[in-house]
Structure 1
Amino acid sequence: MEVGMSTNVAHIIDRKGGEVVTIGPAATLAKAAALLAEHNIGAVVVSRDGTTVDGILSERDIVRQFASTDGVGTGSVSVSTAMTTGVHTATPAATIDELVQIMTTGRFRHVPIVDGGALVGIVSIGDVVKSRMDELQTEAESLQEYVTGTSY
């Protein structure tokens, strides 16, 4: 494994798996909220066919919709009304540095991963932090081995 933040996104997808929870744009926010709770996730990719990215719906989007209507009828509002469009995506070949830049500039915590136009995964800021922590652990062990001449 390449050490440092230049590790690519494919490494994260390989480790966590490529399963992505999706929802159709015509579904209700009540259904979307139940899906987020069921899978213990903070965002769901909006897709008509489970392969293309039409949008993304985060907990934040649901809260904004709730606030804009004082909660009245929010559960019956369609996902397409509240979702974020113009979604920033990355490819499996993107580096973690590139992904962090996308997340930081856009101020979002989830990036769908697309390869050849098809959704192949999603990476959260938590996945990025875990990847970096794993890299730091590997670096520390390598340094310890180098300094002491022992291996783990």
Structure 2
Amino acid sequence: MRIRDVLAGKEAGVLTVEPSTPVPGLLTALAARGVGAAVVVDDDGAVVGMVSERDVVRHLHHRGAPLLSETVSTIMTGPVTTCGPADEVDALAAVMTQRRIRHIPVVEDGKLTGIVSIGDVVKTRLDELEAHRDQLEAYIAG
């Protein structure tokens, strides 16, 4: 299965923020969308980083409340590992596991087209296993 198949089963749209977004603005956007991460894009829409709730918590622990007067650029992770729509889900799962990455932006022709989470990858794999099981049961019963 390919990443484009995973994206087809998801709601359209990716939460993006600019590096200059204040940290409280990021938190508001994450809460409003009910997501745990945002893709950081520059003025041209190019992916320059990722920022997650985990990044906020980690930096808040080390730097305290003054973090809330800073911008996303001070806490984002970059450069970012990306994937393309034609990439295989199994290969992406291996990268996510090895590098301990929970979210990977999907980029095609330099443009952000989606985001894949480790939850998306696990769900896809479970769906594939269930389909294989159903095929085997049908074969045995047939």
Shorter-chain TM-score: what band? over 0.9
- The 3 A distance-change label for structure 1 pair 67 and 42 is same
Aligned residues with identical type, % of pairs: 41
* Structure 1 unmatched ranges of 5 or more: 1-6
Q: Quick one: which of 100, 110, 114 aligns to 1:107?
A: 100
* Cα deviation code 1:26-83 (max 9, x no counterpart): 01111111111111211100112473201000112111210121x2222221000100
- TM-score, normalised relative to structure 1: 0.87
* Structure 2 unmatched ranges of 5 or more: none
1:55 counterpart residue number: 49
Three-state SS of the structure 2 residue aligned to 1:85 is coil
1:43 counterpart residue number: 37
Looking at structure 2, the residues matched to 139 and 64 of structure 1 have their Cα atoms a distance apart, in angstroms, of 41
Looking at structure 2, the residues matched to 40 and 143 of structure 1 have their Cα atoms a distance apart, in angstroms, of 38
Looking at structure 2, the residues matched to 49 and 41 of structure 1 have their Cα atoms a distance apart, in angstroms, of 23
2:71 counterpart residue number: 78
Three-state SS of the structure 2 residue aligned to 1:41 is coil
Coordinate RMSD, CA, aligned:
1.4
Q: 1:22·1:50 contact (CA, 8 Å) conserved in 2?
A: no
Three-state SS of the structure 2 residue aligned to 1:54 is strand
Structure 1 segments of 4+ aligned residues over 3 angstroms from their partners: none
2:110 counterpart residue number: 117
Q: What one-letter code is carried by the residue in structure 2 that aligns with 1:113?
A: V
How many residue pairs get matched? 142
